[in-house]
Each structure stands twice: as C-alpha cells, then as structure tokens.
Amino acid sequence: MTPIAPLITGFLREHMPRQRGLSPHSCDTYAYSFRLLFAFAAGRLRTRPSQLMLEQIDAEMVLAFLGYIERERGNSPATRNVRLAAIKAFMRYVEFKHPRALEQIAQINAIPGKRYDQKLIRHLTMAEVQAVLDAPDLCTRSGIRDRAMLHVCFAAGLRVSELVGLRLENVTLQPAPSILVMGKGRRERSLPLWKETARDVRAWLAVRGRAPAPELFVNAHGDAMTRAGFEYILEKHAATAARVCPTLAGRTLTPHLLRHSCAVIMLQATRDIRKVALWLGHADIRTTEVYLRMDPSEKLEAVEAVLPPALRRGRFKAPDALIASLMADPHAVPT
C-alpha cells in the first residue's frame, strides 16, 4: 500500500508551482479539489484523510465522488469536469512515481468528461451597471473605495483574482491612465482606463493612505482586499441599486457578471471579437466566441444583409366543409 499524503504534497508544492510554473491561485484551486476528494474518501472508508492510500483512490471511488459533488453539493457538470481534470493531472504525476499503478491510473483517465447544456451567459445592461456604480456612498472612505473597485472591475473586464491582486505600482494615471494586469496563465496585459474610471481611482488614492499592502485596494485594516470581501461589497451595493433599478431585484450579481457585461458592451462597440479577446486576456479566441451567441445585433445585421428568396404567392383555398369543421373543433360531430 502506498500512502497518498507524500504524493499529493509533492504534486502541489513541487511539481505544479516549480516544474509546471502554475500560479499560487491555480495551485489553490487544485488543492481545494483534493480537499473535497479526500474528505469524501475518508468518510466512505471510515478513516482519516492522512491515512488514505493511493490504491484506495480508484476509478470506482472517483466516480462516487463525482456523483456526490453533483447530488449533495449541487455542483454543475462544468464544476464536476474541473474536479475530474485535477484528479487526472495528479494521476499523470503519480504514474511516473509508481508505475505499478498504471492500470488503476488508466481506468481513472478513461472516465469521460460530462456533457452539459451551454446556456447563454447573463449580463447587465448599461443602465443596470450605472445603477450599481451609483450605489456606493461617496461621502465615506469605504464608499469611494467601493466605487473605484466596481468601476475598475467593470471597465477593465477583470477577473476577481485580477482585481484584488492589482498592485499599486501597476497603476499609471499620467500621461494616459492604464493598468498592468497579471492574468490567467501568468499572461500580462496592459489596459487603458476610461477618464471616469481614472477619476474614481484618483479619488480612492487620495484617501487610501499609507497602507502596508502593495495592492491597490485594501480593507479597513489596511490589508489586501480578498475575493470574499469584494463579493460581499458587490452584493451589498447590488441590493441598494435594486431599489432604483427594478430589473436588478432578485438577481444575484457576481464579479464575473461585471466581466461578462464589459465583454458584451465591448463587442457591441467594436464589432471585433479579437479585440474583446485581447481585452479580457483570453488565450484562445474560441473562449470569447460565447459572447457572439449573446449579442443579437450581429445576427440582425446578417438577416438584413441577405436578400430573401422571392417566393411564389398563392391564394388560400378553404378546405372541405367536413375537414374545416374538424380543424375548428376536434370534438365536433358533423351534422
């Protein structure tokens, strides 16, 4: 039997960050997947997670875990596929350490990803975005900070990790306002800021003070803003905005919803999916194509540009009286 604890430690602390160069955020995402897996397996085997053995994490256990997170935790098929991808990445690492487990690993790698319906991504209209941006109280320090955070998140189309990780040294306000963002996959991108966004950032910098954290946005204690902290701020101001914008009532606003809203507005303004991909920091333009399905204007232009075929017009001829009565009322009885 092979203890799994040393293997997962080497995978997360050595292989992923040093050999593959993954960011700390990506490593945290992998670690969370394995916390769920090991807690489930330990409960099922009536043991402690630290006592789990590699041989116990077989295909049957993985399938049971995937079913558990869908049924009990309410995870979507997309999340289920993310957890499965993390497990497969770990198993590819293990097969070089313990070749005798190749058969077990092959069975796990054979588990397919789950197909699911890809619904249209929801987004906010400009009026709804404006209501959210107007919600913070600009007479308070926290309100000035919140307005700046919300404005930068929307205008730059940032992921929440990019927003809270934005460093003060990467903000340029003169001569042209811009920010340098470290995106997914450690890809940097430079984004210009609207004049209105830059004005809100300047207002925040005027009251930020000498907080020890290097990040642009800090909490009341001077520490870097966290993902949960920004999600709370967005939820609070969304409730305030719903009082003046009825279409926001009952909706759950997430940081990624602001990113989607930015993408749709950028697509409508530029008509260029490549520019939207560059703005959002997508490595593959196919990821950005989802916004084409959301924007009906492109489809309307296609309809208007095509000359419809000339169809021969005919005259309507009434059917037989018996057939007409049956078409009008299926339960009718001819007299």
Q: Which residues are catalytic?
A: 159, 184, 256, 259, 282, 291
CA distances to 26, 43, 151, 253 from 228, rounded to whole Å, are 17, 28, 18, 13
Please list, in sequence order, all residues whose beta carbon lies within 8 angstroms of the beta carbon of residue 292, skipping any fewer than 6 positions away. Answer: 267, 273, 298
Q: Are 291 and 263 in contact (CB under 8 A)?
A: yes
**Structure tokens that stand for 2 in this block:** 């092979």
Q: CA separation (Å) from 163 to 110, 195, 237?
A: 37, 18, 17
**Distance from C-alpha of 57 to C-alpha of 88, rounded to nearest angstrom:** 12
What DSSP string runs through 144-183?
A: HHHHHHHHHHHHHT--HHHHHT-BGGGEE-SSS-EEEEE-
Say how far apart CA 48 and CA 268 lie, in whole Å: 54
CB neighbour list of residue 47: distance below 8 Å, 6 or more residues apart: none
